[in-house]
Amino acid sequence: MPSNPTSFIIAIDGPAAAGKGTLSRRVADAYGFHHLDTGLTYRAAAKALLDAGLPLDDPATAEKMAHDVELDGLDRDVLSKHEIGEAASKIAVMPGVRRALVEAQRRFSGKQPGVVLDGRDIGTVVCPDAPVKLYVTASPEVRARRRFEEIRGKGTTADFDAIFEDVKRRDERDMGRTDSPLKPAEDAHLLDTSEMSIEAAFQAAKSIIDLALSRHT
Ligand code: C5P
């Protein structure tokens, strides 16, 4: 064992509702690694702006909120609201916001013995040297269907067409922005979960991770 081992980084990227959150938590549990859902960091900055009644189109204010985000205090239940996700994707186009949050995410990525970070730009920008990069995707229809079932499962009514439009709009914004657009890293393994169960996706990820771990020094 080296005296100062580098932490083992698993980067998981992909569009909204592709299943990367579930997969990331499962992988982190299986390997005993720390997990950071980086989407929550963008959501926390957006929520701080919304709570303070501040505009979402002022980069200086948004950047300040991004600097104040505490990774320890991220609460998925509080941050999962649809309006917060929409606001997050608007401020995520601002380079100053991204710089502040990427810095915090990189600090997190040094945790021992390893980390799973999931988001949109982990393999391309945040941790380009990660030994494992997965790009988890599924067709927009399948992703909208999953979100629709998830909302209905909670006993709330849902409108499939509205969710479908929302998924496509979010994709456009995330893939079309100039700074760190959503795309697979050149060396990422693609996992299309359109017709794959979470168990099958986990097993596919596990084979890739085990091989990389066996080569990690
Ligand atoms: O993944 P989640 O839906 O929680 O992310 C909310 C928004 O934050 C995304 O639509 C995206 O615009 C932004 N985001 C990002 N880079 C990341 C994670 C999320 O731009 N690494």
By DSSP bridging, strand 189-192 and strand 132-137 are parallel
DSSP state of 123: I
Domains observed in the chain: 8-210 (3.40.50.300)
Measured in Å, residue 114 CA sits from the centre of ligand 1 at: 22
Contacts (Cβ under 8 Å, ≥6 apart) of 196: 204
Measured in Å, residue 3 CA sits from the centre of ligand 1 at: 36
Instruction: Calculate the alpha carbon distances from 16 to 60, 68, 141, 178 in Å.
Output: 26, 25, 12, 18
Q: Tens of pLDDT along the chain (217 residues)?
A: 444 568 999 999 999 889 999 999 999 999 999 999 999 999 999 999 999 999 999 999 999 999 999 999 899 999 999 899 999 999 999 999 999 999 999 999 999 999 999 999 999 999 999 999 999 999 999 999 999 998 899 898 989 999 999 999 999 999 999 999 999 999 999 999 999 998 999 999 999 999 999 998 6
Measured in Å, residue 41 CA sits from the centre of ligand 1 at: 8
For ligand 1, atom 6: residue with the closest CA: 39
